[in-house]
Structure 1
Amino acid sequence: MFTHIKAAIIDLDGTMLDTAPDFLVAINRMRAEFSLAPLALETIKHFVGKGSENLIHRVLAVDYAEPQVAQHFDAAIDSYQRHYLSINGDYSTLYPDVIQGLQALRAKGLRLACVTNKPIAFTTPLLQKKGLSNYFDVVYGGDSLVRKKPDPLPLLQVCTDFDLPPAQVIAIGDSSNDAIAARAAGCPVLSVPYGYNHGEAIQNIDSDGIVETLLEAARLISLN
């Protein structure tokens, strides 16, 4: 059991939503504009998690050397963002027991924050579209603050917002980004095994445990 927990910080992509199919559509529509061949879903899953800039850089690097990546980057990210906004949430699905897990966390009296590296312009409408918005008191995207995960700043900002010490704020995510940020912030952290994690094994993450679902995470958390 995790005791004396008063709040939870939950990641979005790979933790609450399987958004890889959205990335697949937007990225391959962008690549078509550059006359590049489409990428496979599994390839794209390995690129997700460190923000849009890193994502597009890696997508371009499949075909281009570094000078060409830099040359095409601005046009590519503009194209990607345009396509992503047009389909945001259309192909993504909730992972099992996400709603039940959020309900259980709220029923225990925990305050909830969503902290993701997805740009806030994508994050807010996606949460609304999938019926998740009302569960969260605070939402930060990857461009909401001056630094994103794995930097601890977004998690520390949530602790400040909630007026809680990091030891009472648990982080839940699917990748090393979440665990590294939580460790640096002083927050306990749980990992889910079904997300992306840059193609690396979840067992290699330095977290306080692996939980199959958000509902299982809620069952492990105690206020006292």
Structure 2
Amino acid sequence: MMAARFDVDAVLFDLDGTLLDTVDDLHEAANRMLAELGRPLRTREEIRNFVGKGIPKLVERCLADPDVSAADFDAAVEVFRTHYRETNGSKSAPYDTVRETLDALKASGVSMGVVTNKAQDFAVPLLEATGLADYFGAVVCGGMLPNKKPAPDMLLHACELLSVGKERAIMVGDSGNDAQCAQAAGVPVLLMTYGYTEGVPVDTINCDGLLSKFAELPPLLGR
């Protein structure tokens, strides 16, 4: 499935699994947490399928313990955060053709933003560590608003920060989480085929087009 051209002034990107491959950092932090808590470790592929709805959901999926108390769960989240502060950005890297594509979009005058469920104190340092921070006029992170993706609030807030109407914006993500967010906001959405889909085959997710690499994006954007 390939999309038609979209006449837009702004492109809003998901972060993990879309711009950056971050699973190794998350996997290391998750297993350090689990080891500290005396729980079974997780495989890289398991962690890959757990990514998408923020740190608390990742920790919940790692623990897979419906009987864990609220206090113990909150403590586990803090243990994860402590370890992730050390691993965040250490192995993460932009996917193939991401930098070249962002350069091309910037040169064309398109505004760009990031809409991620990752908390601000991890997302912003990650963008800085990987050299991507300066591309984006808005970075909307988990915890900034009451509702995370797949609610539309974060995407709409990013449009406001960029002073672009939603009818002139497009979302680029990697999962049903991103697709549902964009659709709830009334914004078209393209999905990368290589990202983190929470175990759902990307070709089964309702969207406006699939991209196998970032370089396929600029030709679809007419202004």
TM bracket, shorter-chain basis:
over 0.9
Q: TM-score, normalised by structure 2?
A: 0.95
Q: Which runs of 5+ in 1 are unaligned?
A: none
Which residue matches 1:33? 36
Residues 14 and 178, structure 2, Cα contact 8 Å, conserved in 1: yes
Partners in 2 of 1:43 and 1:2 — Cα distance?
36
Q: Which residue of 2 aligns with 1:84?
A: 84
Shift of 1:140: 1.0
- Could you tell me how far apart the structure 2 residues matched to 1:149 and 1:211 are? 21
User: Secondary structure, in 3 states, of the residue corresponding to 2:194?
Assistant: coil
Verify the 8 A CA contact 2:137 2:162 in the aligned structure 1: no
- Supply the AA of the counterpart residue of 1:149: K
Aligned residues: 220
CA RMSD of aligned residues (A): 1.2
Are the equivalent residues in 2 in contact too, given 1:8–1:171 (CA < 8 A)?
Answer: yes
Corresponding residue of 1:15: 18
**Quick check: which one's strand share is greater?**
2
Does 1:108 pair with 2:108? yes
Matched, 1:46 2:39: no
Name the structure 1 match of 2:58. 55
Cα separation, 1, equivalents of 2:156 and 2:181: 9
Offset of 1:58 from its aligned partner? 1.0
Identity %: 40
Unaligned runs of 5+ in 2: none
Match for residue 75 of structure 2? 75
Counterpart for residue 212 of structure 1: 212
Equivalence for 2:183: 183
Shift of 1:106: 1.1
Offset, 1:4:
2.3
Structure 2 Cα separation of the partners of residues 145 and 218 of structure 1: 30
Runs (4+) of structure 1 exceeding 4 A deviation are: none
**Aligned match of 1:97:** 97
Matched, 1:127 2:127: yes
